[in-house]
Structure 1
Amino acid sequence: RVYALITNEKEEILLADEEYLGKRFTKFPGGGLEWGEGIYDALQREAQEELHQGLTHAKHFYTTDFFQQSSFKKTDQLISVYYTAELSKPEDLLLGEFPFDFTHGKPSFRWVKISELRREDLKFPIDKLMLEKLKKSISDL
């Protein structure tokens, strides 16, 4: 799976609120690879599908090197690749006004201050780890 840690000049990060199999969760934008697809190509395809635009300044941030069981299919394990990136046209993104605001469809997107985002705001264990790593990388600057 491949995900984007999309930030802006206001020190915010983009979150995706989704609903799948009757469960709601908040995560970073991204998803699975399709057969024959490279990781970077999948990142850009997911951005086009979900955000209706491409990503710029995409830079590899982290690849998991530990076992992580899928939250949805217990017989699957995940390898997740995260990139930092920016939106090519941030002004064109349709945003929700609150968590799980599906006015513009699913998933719903919203900006959150990185400094205010907490581990418990995210559903998946790897996203929680990425939040910690991102905050550390910012504090190390």
Structure 2
Amino acid sequence: MSKFNVRVYGILLNENKQVLVSDEYIRGSYYTKFPGGGLEFGEGTRDCLQREFKEEVNLDVRIGEHIYTTDIFQMSAFTPDHQIIAIYYFAHALEPITAPIKTTEFDFDEAQMAIYEQTRQIETVRFIDWENFKPEAVTLPIDKIVAALVKEKY
């Protein structure tokens, strides 16, 4: 039986043309990825992304132009019998970001480390300057494809 995991991610550029990324420590590994996550049953992709931005960044966003939907086979890193289908949109902040914005990779504070002990994952967000934004700046294979597309097209 085929098992699919649908993920929805957002590319948010601020007024300084910096790209928002999420630095995460999950199950013993570090990942830099775009904000977003798993589609829940009964949810549309844009609704999912709005919910994920609210959960991860405490930010209301408007979902903009579609950028990319997976057109390659990508096995899940966490569940090898699942195939990832990832959908990417531009996201536009509807309010100032109030979540702590870090300036260095994987800059987790004591409170976040305490959460890790319970949840086995932590995350924080930061901006990458446009000139430093490239496929190598993100971890996940599909994110690398999208980073290249965004950098080339915009």
The separation in 1 between residues aligned to 2:97 and 2:30, in whole angstroms, is 26
Tell me if the contact between 2:57 and 2:97 (Cα under 8 Å) persists in the aligned partners: no
Partner of residue 48, structure 1:
54
Select the residue among 14, 22, 26 that pairs with 1:20.
Answer: 26
Partner of 2:123: 107
Distance 1:133 1:116 in 2: 15
Deviation at 1:120, TM superposition (A): 2.2
Q: Structure 1 residue 37: deviation in Å? A: 1.2
Runs of at least 5 residues in structure 1 that lack an aligned partner in the other structure: none
Matches within 5 A, 1:24-35: 24-35=30-41
Runs of at least 5 residues in structure 2 that lack an aligned partner in the other structure: 1-6, 113-121
Matched, 1:137 2:148: no
**TM-score normalised by the chain length of structure 1:** 0.91
Aligned residues: 138
Of 86, 89, 94, which residue of structure 2 is paired with 1:83? 89
- 72 and 135 in structure 1: CA distance in 2 versus 1, 3 angstrom threshold: same
- Show the counterpart of 2:118: none
In structure 1, C-alpha distance between the alignment counterparts of 2:50 and 2:77, rounded to whole Å:
24
Candidates 60, 70, 92, aligned match of 1:64: 70
Secondary structure of the corresponding residue to residue 151 of structure 2:
helix
- Comparing both structures, which one devotes a greater share of its residues to strand? 2
- Judged with a 3 Å threshold, the aligned counterparts in structure 2 of structure 1 residues 57 and 42 are, in CA distance, closer, same or farther, namely closer
Could you say what secondary structure the match of 2:30 adopts? strand
Q: Taking structure 1 as reference, are residues 57 and 45 closer, same or farther at Cα in structure 2, changes over 3 Å only?
A: closer
Whole-angstrom CA distance in 1 between matches of 2:139 and 2:78: 12
For residue 97 of structure 1, report the CA deviation from its aligned partner: 2.8
- Write out the 4+ residue segments of structure 1 that deviate beyond 6 Å after TM superposition: none
CA RMSD of aligned residues (A): 1.4
Partner of residue 79 from structure 2, selected from 49, 73, 77: 73
Q: Deviations over 1:20-46 (max 9, x none)?
A: 111111000000011121111101110
| 8 Å Cα contact 2:67/2:89 also seen in 1 | yes
**Percent of paired sites with the same residue:** 38
